[in-house]
Structure 1
């Protein structure tokens, strides 16, 4: 029997076949899970629809996390078709370019609040929507980065945003523990995703990570997917409130 056979989960944030969330979706599917996927808008759908077909997702709906109507529709479909879920992965991140590329002290209030709402608070909203669907307990995952804990050149305002995300993971792990719902985050090394392309000097960051990490190589989306699949499995039933690095050991050096 496959490790995730019989489990059902949702994934928010697949943009294309280079997404961290796609690496996770593949791993979940390969290990037997049934998946519900979202896509951001009509422009993104052609990039995500073929991926939904590959993992045979029975639920595939638009979800802009700032749109309450789409939010309600997505989770209503989950409840109607499945009734319950076992895990959920949040891999949604955004910051206005003009604020992301400047100093934190110069970022606008509106830009900071927008980045915090989409990149952090939508994770909290997802957990709240998932709680009544996880009737037998479950696992909730977020995607973070080392810039939440240390200063990373050009990561700028996403540093405090991801710090808030990691603090939310710990707090919600405590709050949801009585319901046997585990909350963790994956902190992947630098990977050339669509989101990462918005950072200045990202190529240099990847070179430095490969040179300094103990394993002297870069992480892949498949590496991240393998760890995500473990964390939502029963084998990780006693792991919660953790920030799990998948970065070839870079965090112990950087």
Structure 2
């Protein structure tokens, strides 16, 4: 198994439809030991977020399941302290976190407020830099980091708005981190998934229209399946991808290569 004896931390499983959940499942099936985080619950008596995570990973024997606000240094200190306590060193880190205030995301990019932009950029882009810095300090040589991006960081996608700007910053961060951490034997990559029905895609809106677009425009004439994304994420985090770093791997049935509609489009 590709992850036998490997240990890592997964940030960002929101529910069983999350991309992070699909990747983590593939990694678990390959023998990894993992610790997980979830959004903090506002009501400890009704731990909605903790229960959502437990529903996905509870049967996997997780090393820990801890609340995490990536804007809270105290939360991050607690998570990495627990990782050191349980694992000593880690071999991989998965970052699947993005957020923009809904009113900022729904509005045009030119109307985003300084406060909204700061929140969106801090959570969606800077958090990966922060986590990478913390993870590299306890990561074995040959380790790997992976974050989730989207085509809207490369090209203008109507409705993606300020999140596209954040993803562009995230993708640039991947390249700089790959360069800086490469001498330590640590790889850093991004995965750009095509249309999937997740909490994140529902927040952007026009979900069914996006699905139809991918089914008509992509060379494979379909939208990607979450299992395909999960396997690709597992690959990038594994030793199978030992020569790949600074990359943005598209798993979108080829949608991103198209510069015009297919000639057979009806």
Normalising TM by the smaller chain, what interval?
A: over 0.9
| 2:30 counterpart residue number | 31
| 1:118 counterpart residue number | 123
Asked which structure has the greater CA Rg, the reply is: 2
Query: Cα RMSD between the aligned structures?
Result: 1.0
Q: Is the 8 A contact 2:63 2:86 kept in 1?
A: no
Q: Deviations for 1:107-135, whole angstroms, at most 9, x for unmatched residues?
A: 00100110000001000011001011113
2:140 counterpart SS class: coil
2:207 aligned with 1:206: no
**Which stretches of structure 1, 4 residues or longer, exceed 3 Å deviation after superposition?**
none
1:94 counterpart SS class: coil
Q: Is the 8 A contact 2:26 2:230 kept in 1?
A: yes
| 2:11 counterpart residue number | 12
Q: Deviations for 1:3-40, whole angstroms, at most 9, x for unmatched residues?
A: 11111111100000000000011000011111111111
Cα distance between partner residues in 2 of 1:176 and 1:184: 12
Q: Is the 8 A contact 2:70 2:127 kept in 1?
A: yes
Q: Deviations for 1:137-195, whole angstroms, at most 9, x for unmatched residues?
A: 31000000000111111111111110000000001000000000000000000111111
| 2:102 counterpart residue number | 97
2:81 aligned with 1:82: no
| 1:167 counterpart residue number | 172
1:239 to 228, 244, 248: 244
1:170 counterpart SS class: helix
2:222 counterpart SS class: coil
Note the C-alpha offset of 1:220: 2.2
Unaligned 5+ residue runs, structure 1? Answer: none
Could you tell which deviates more after superposition, 13-22 or 194-203?
A: 194-203
Could you tell which deviates more after superposition, 129-138 or 181-190?
A: 129-138
Q: Is the 8 A contact 1:144 1:188 kept in 2?
A: yes
Note the C-alpha offset of 1:67: 1.6
Cα distance between partner residues in 2 of 1:54 and 1:12: 18
| 2:44 counterpart residue number | none
2:136 aligned with 1:137: no
Cα distance between partner residues in 2 of 1:35 and 1:235: 19
Cα distance between partner residues in 1 of 2:142 and 2:4: 16
2:197 counterpart SS class: coil
Q: Is the 8 A contact 2:217 2:258 kept in 1?
A: yes
Q: Deviations for 1:203-246, whole angstroms, at most 9, x for unmatched residues?
A: 21111011111111111221111011111111111100000000
Q: Is the 8 A contact 1:22 1:221 kept in 2?
A: no
1:57 counterpart SS class: coil
2:80 counterpart SS class: helix
1:220 to 217, 225, 233: 225
Cα distance between partner residues in 2 of 1:239 and 1:87: 14
Aligned residues: 253
Cα distance between partner residues in 1 of 2:211 and 2:117: 26
Unaligned 5+ residue runs, structure 2? Answer: 42-47, 260-266
Q: Is the 8 A contact 2:149 2:192 kept in 1?
A: yes
